[in-house]
Structure formats: C-alpha cells, structure tokens
Amino acid sequence: MNKEEIKKILPHREPMLLVDEIEIDDQKVAHAKYKVKGDEFFLQGHFPDYPVVPGVILCEIMAQSSCIIIQEALIGRTPFYAGIDKVKFKKQVRPHDVVEVKARIINQKGLVFFVEGVATVDNEICAKAEMIFALVDNDKIEK
C-alpha cells in the first residue's frame, strides 16, 4: 500500500502522516516504512546541530502503522490513543534513516484495540511499545 492508499484509511495528513508504505501479512502483522527526510518540522529544533527524531514521533509512527491493521473498524471512526505502556527507546533515529515497523493486535475489547509495535532501523530496535487505541464514531466528534 502506498501513501495515497494509506490516506484512504488514516485520517492523518502531512505533515503528520508518518507512514510511506505498508503491507499486512497473512498473520495480520503490519509491516510499515517511513523514511526520515531530514526537513520534517519535528527535527528543526530537536536538535538544531544534531537532529534526532523525538521519541513521541517514533510512537506516532508505530501508532499509525498499527491502525492500518484495523482498517475495517476505522470506517466512519477516528482512532485515538487511549494508553501506551512498556515504551522503550533503544537507538537514535536520524535524518535519512528508514524506520521499519512491525505491529500486531494483541487484544481487542469492542472498539478498543491493544497493539504491540516494534520499530527498527537497519534491523536494530529503535523503539517498542504496547499501545491502546479507542475508536470514536466520527459523528460523535465535535468539530
């Protein structure tokens, strides 16, 4: 799935769309990629002379990658973080790195999904987390 196909599923748009491509395998595991270009807004001040992708952005990359797995449940709904546990940051992510994410659902209770995500660069773990998403019907979101 390319970026244009991803936009048909996720509500995110640039500059916050942080998935370039994704595939879902037969075991319902998401395999996603995001290339850090170096000109992203979050690198401008983090840090000016030594740009490093902030940990919260790595969590967002994993979250967006995770939500593709639940694309059928997303129809007419928006995913919101409901929690994040067991977060670990293991390696810095810098401009021109390609972040690869593997994500899988570990539990579901109604419209609440529990997902495990692991992000790597060059086959080394840079971040991992257990994330919780609650899906909210779009007609219940005040605009």
Domain boundaries, the chain: 3-140
Tokens standing for residue 69: 């797995």
3-state secondary structure of 5: helix
The catalytically annotated residue of 12, 31, 46, 96 is: 46
The verdict on whether 96 is a catalytic residue reads no
For the entire predicted model, the pTM comes to 0.95
For the chain, 143 residues long, give each residue's pLDDT as a single digit of tens: 999 999 999 999 999 999 999 999 999 999 999 999 999 999 999 999 999 999 999 999 999 999 999 999 999 999 999 999 999 999 999 999 999 999 999 999 999 999 999 999 999 999 999 999 999 999 999 87
The pLDDT assigned to 142 comes to: 83
Residue with tokens 């995001």: 34
What fold, for 3-140? Thiol Ester Dehydrase; Chain A (3.10.129)
The answer to whether the CB of 14 falls within 8 A of the CB of 29 is no
Tens digit of pLDDT for each residue in 26-65?
999 999 999 999 999 999 999 999 999 999 999 999 999 9
Cα-based angle 102, 28, 110 (whole degrees, multiple of 5): 105
pLDDT of residue 18: 98
Q: Per the structure block, which two tokens stand in for 95? A: 């401009």
